[in-house]
Structure 1
Amino acid sequence: MTVYRTFCETAASFPENTFLCVPAYENRAYYPEGMEFSYETASVEIERLKDVYRRSGYGSGHRVAYLLENRPEYLFHFLAANALGISVVPINPDYLHDEMLYQMDHSEVDMAVTIASRFEDLKAVVNESVKEPSLVVFEDFPELLPSPQTRAGDLTPDLQSEVSLLYTSGTTGRPKACILTNEYYLEAGRTYLELGGLAEIRRGEERLYNPLPLFHMNAGAVSFVCMLLSGGCLVIPDRFHPSTWWQELVQTRSTIIHYLGVVPPMLLNQPVSEQETNHSVRFGLGAGVEPELHDVFEERYGFPLIEVWGMTETGRIFVNRHEPRQIHTRAFGRPEDDMIARVVDEHDMDVEVGQDGELLVSCRGKDPRRGFFAGYLKNDIATEEAWKGNWFHTGDTVRQDETGMLYFVDRKKNIIRRSGENIAAAEVEAVLQSHDKVAQVAVIAVKDEIREEEVMACIVLKGATSPTGKLATSLFNFARGKLAYYKPPGWILFVESLPTTGTQKIQKTQIFESGVNPLEQPGIFDFRKMKKKISK
């Protein structure tokens, strides 16, 4: 009935199997020589942590935030918290002060746990937050924690208990918090486990290498729970490193890999090595590989890349796991499990086969929301709008053929997809609009040969302000000081005006005429090389 109870059952069946693995990487601050934790070893530590939380007064109704990067110990804390009904709120380590403050206040956490190198950053956030939660350093995690401000409830955790809050970018600026339950996590893992076809999971044998962050549903829910259910091992690098990718896969004996669209071209650009075919990988699972690179990758490295579709809100995924996969298209599978689909027009009427429309999904049976997210925290209006007619509106434009195969076309929402990160254009616009030199701003997505899409800001300046390179740099730095490194504009273009409707709403589709490449406009400034992680 809970993720924790599922772990206990699996640990009893596979005590000596490796549960979590960290590949060796000398430039990483933790476990530079690598580390493995068996189910039995993990169980001992999880029980210890559970006892610490319980004795300190934490339980049902409490939330704890974690800024632990991609350390495997995050999942120990996750399971200990899950056992007691505590909800976890993972923090994106790339978030800056204002972003973390919003998350802290919105989630109303009772305590935050952070690595020592980020203590001062999080302390500044806690000091400004409304609730002022306790702050604990992960490396010095005590045997008795600061007491929560409220007493724990007496509810026993079950399928519908809140497990975590995952923040996902929305079109209205600030990220929305998806409430995820035990049912969500278990359904996400079960669906993956039972896929079959080219994505068959062998019980007790798989070692799944996922370079994506644990605060995303891909690594932190789908992959994690699938391995947990099957007695497999989740391999957790700190992030994607193209130069050491094959070395890590061979070293960790990985049998499955997860990828984003940015991964295949970066690996194909690496020099040929013996290790790239000396691995044990059976298949890769991911989304966004360019059709023209699909068979090139598979022929060079010797395993299939299986395209999927999913969202934080859905948990479950569509998977293109049976031949013929139509790898020269953007096919991502057919509805074959509990999650069903429709393709509709702007009036939610089904479109004809082969026509573009918005993808709507729901659960087969009496409860269309079963296994999905439980709603957006403190935003019932957005929740019900998304579930209009009891179909979840994904905001993705797709088409479906006569066989039921779904093909990705584009994103209907005002979201920019850069290297796997969803960036709300409205959030970037809000930051730039607050600068005293900016009169109007429109943020749009432009194609990028490496990162799928990049952020472009079209800016109208106030008064007689001159559109200089110095000002463009100043605006970029201004945004970089308030947003995670991947969100500021990679391109800035100063324009005299922006097209608007009669109600003064900017019409982004009319900024550039059809066939015009925005990146070829005179006077555009390129800041892509400055979009790097800030060392902590």
Structure 2
Amino acid sequence: MATLSVAAVLAENARRRPHKTALVEGDLRLSFEQVWQRSLSRAGALTGLGVRPGDRVALMAPNTAEFPVAYYAIAAAGAVVVPVHLLLTAPEVEHVLKDSGATLLLVHPGQAATGRAAAQALGIRAVELGGELDRLAADARPLPTYVTRAADDPAVVFYTSGTTGVPKGAVLSHFNLVMNATVNAFDANDIRADDVALGALPLFHAFGQTVSLNSTWRAGATLVLLPRFDAARAIELMVKEGVNTFHGVPTMFVALAAAAGAADALPELRVCVSGGASLPVAVLERFEAAFGATVYEGYGLSETSPTATVNQPVFGTRAGTIGHPLWGVDVEIARAETEDRVELLPPGELGEVVVRGHNVFSGYLGRPEATAEALVDGWFRTGDLGTKDEEGFLRIVDRKKDVIIRGGYNVYPREVEEVLARHPQIAQVAVIGLPDELHGEEVCAVVVPAEGTAPDPAALTEWSKEHLGRHKYPRRVEFTDTMPLGPSMKVLKRELRTRYTGA
């Protein structure tokens, strides 16, 4: 039996580069050895609380130093991490705790009210990070090293945002996560031990956890945490700490490009990775012009650890694409209508993106039917529509369920958004389908206007007519100050649909 643990990512750094700065948060600076010792002492406290290998421990915390310490402590104790989104209500947290079978909740003081209410409702113990856990750790005997696990044992259970029905727990193994961190660090991009990365993505989300935390530390590099993303503050912090690596979602790239003009100085960025949602080419161009840095756009899902593809220097980058599959991963296009088997399509054809490789999850916790629907013929069906060209570049066209059918014609919101994002008065746009008696669905653009502008809806529709096919341009334009964002900073289109249906 092969053994492996995510905890090795930190343990090996403590052995190889003990005195190197691992973590920076405000004035706090910790070396790899210090982070590992803190994790081992807290792992001792968890063991004292009755946590056994294979038990599930929920972790609810923002991007403060407590998160990585607790994350690696849970892994070191041989338990399974269940990260909890910070924007959830107490009943939603209760669902995650109950569904995962968590026996303990570690919660940051800032989230304690919500976390404790959920834990109490289920009779689960909640321990606060900081004071309470520190006291328990001081009284406990630290673990001498991490508990060995089988490579295929569960390491983390991610609750997927649940665009359909209730959130499901995607079970990822130690092998999934260690491999994804390793190939992200050494094969996808050239990550070096002297790099400094900004940890602005939520660490409770797969993208932040694998790409910002685990991949950065897999390479032995330094992680600078930013507990709350604010573009001006992020630029200031990156300059101050010599950050050269930035991982973000499109909304962050939009904000950074807008804030660059007013900044006193800009960081010298070497590696910028975008994921989480499609990055409009206009935003990519604005960011690259402002920062003089290349953006490597990638793609993945909680179920794929998360990275499946990314633009990689070895293949060259292409704006508007999600690049090539990661080392050891296959990503192809399958016929979307055929659900009981995977029928691969030739280059250039539109279909459902399917993934297989070391990054594909074990399944949905306690949901064999949902697992069987998602894992077909050894492939994971993503629910995203895309194409693959002759050179192997992949492109995401849209979510299968976000496609608008207007008068019998398919309209892909992503395509309309790409065009509208180029309008000088539009800072951000989301395109949705709204019920329409005549056409079945009507195309609606929800727009955040560029600062200092007051666009006219009729003029925007007229402008769109010149750039988009007759069935594609938005007949309805709505304005909003901010987009509703999910815990992973994705625009919540279902909320927009609810807001503007019948409005």
Q: Say whether the fold is shared (TM-score over 0.5).
A: yes
Which residue in 2 is equivalent to 1:358?
352
Q: What SS class does the counterpart of residue 187 from structure 2 fall into?
A: coil
In the alignment, the residues of structure 2 paired with residue 157 and residue 338 of structure 1 have an alpha-carbon distance, to the nearest angstrom, of 23
Q: 1:260-275 counterparts in 2 under 5 A?
A: 260-270=249-259, 272-273=261-262, 275=264
For residues 198-230 of structure 1, the C-alpha deviation after alignment (integer angstroms, 9 at most, x for no partner) is x3112x211111311011111112332212222
| Alignment correspondent of 1:317 | 308
Whether the 8 Å contact between 2:304 and 2:361 is mirrored in structure 1 is yes
After superposition, give the CA deviation of every residue in 1:383-422 in whole Å (9 maximum; x if it has no partner). 1111111111111111111111111211114599xxxxxx
Residue 14 of structure 2 aligns with which residue? 11
Q: Distance in 2 between matches of 1:194 and 1:398?
A: 27
- 1:180-219 matches, within 5 Å, as 180-195=172-187, 199-202=189-192, 204-219=193-208
Q: Which residue of structure 1 aligns with residue 111 of structure 2?
A: 118
Name 2:39's counterpart in structure 1: 46
Could you tell me which amino acid in structure 1 is paired with residue 54 of structure 2?
G
Partner of 1:305: 295
Aligned to 1:385: 373
C-alpha spacing 1:415/1:174, structure 2 compared with 1 (3 Å): farther
2:165 corresponds to 1:165: no
TM-score, normalization: structure 2? Answer: 0.76
Structure 2 CA distance for partners of 1:530 and 1:249, relative to 1, 3 Å: closer
Aligned identity (percent) is 23
Q: State the partner residue of 1:102.
A: 95
* Counterpart position of 1:67: 60
1:519 corresponds to 2:496: no
Residue 341 of structure 1 aligns to a residue in which SS?
Answer: strand
* CA deviation after TM superposition for structure 1 residue 137, in Å: 2.0
> What is residue 494 of structure 2 aligned with on the other side?
none
Cα distance between partner residues in 2 of 1:65 and 1:404: 39
Q: 2:284 — aligned with what?
A: 294
Structure 1 partner of 2:273: 285
- Secondary structure of the residue that 2:322 maps to in structure 1? strand
Which amino acid in 2 is paired with 1:263? M
Q: 2:430 aligns with which of 441, 453, 457?
A: 453
Q: In 2, Cα distance between the equivalents of 1:527 and 1:293?
A: 19
RMSD across aligned positions (CA): 3.0
Name structure 2 gaps, 5 residues minimum. Answer: 138-146, 405-412, 438-469, 488-503
C-alpha contact 2:9 2:214 (8 A) present in aligned 1 = no
- 1:121 is aligned with what amino acid? T
For 1:351 and 1:282, the matched residues in 2 are separated by 36
Give the structure with the larger helix fraction: 2
Q: Residues 297, 371 of structure 1: CA spacing in aligned structure 2 closer, same or farther, 3 A cutoff?
A: closer
Structure 2 distance, partners of 1:59, 1:459, is 55
Report the residue type matching 1:55 in the other structure: G
User: What is the distance in 2 between the residues matched to 1:77 and 1:454?
Assistant: 39
1:140 is matched with 131
Give 1:339-418 correspondences, 5 Å limit.
339-345=329-335, 346-347=337-338, 348-363=342-357, 370-413=358-401
Report what 1:86 is aligned to. 79
Show the counterpart of 1:175. Answer: 167
Separation of aligned partners in 2, 1:528 and 1:344: 39
Q: Name the CA distance, whole Å, in 2 between partners of 1:530 and 1:258.
A: 21
Give the counterpart letter for 1:281 in structure 2. L
* Displacement after TM superposition at 1:450 (Å): 4.8
Matched, 1:250 2:239: yes
Distance 1:21 1:50, change over 3 A: same
Aligned to 1:431: none
Q: Which secondary structure state, in structure 2, belongs to the residue aligned with residue 332 of structure 1?
A: coil
Change (3 A) 1:144 1:249: closer
Counterpart-to-counterpart distance in 2, 1:455 and 1:106:
31
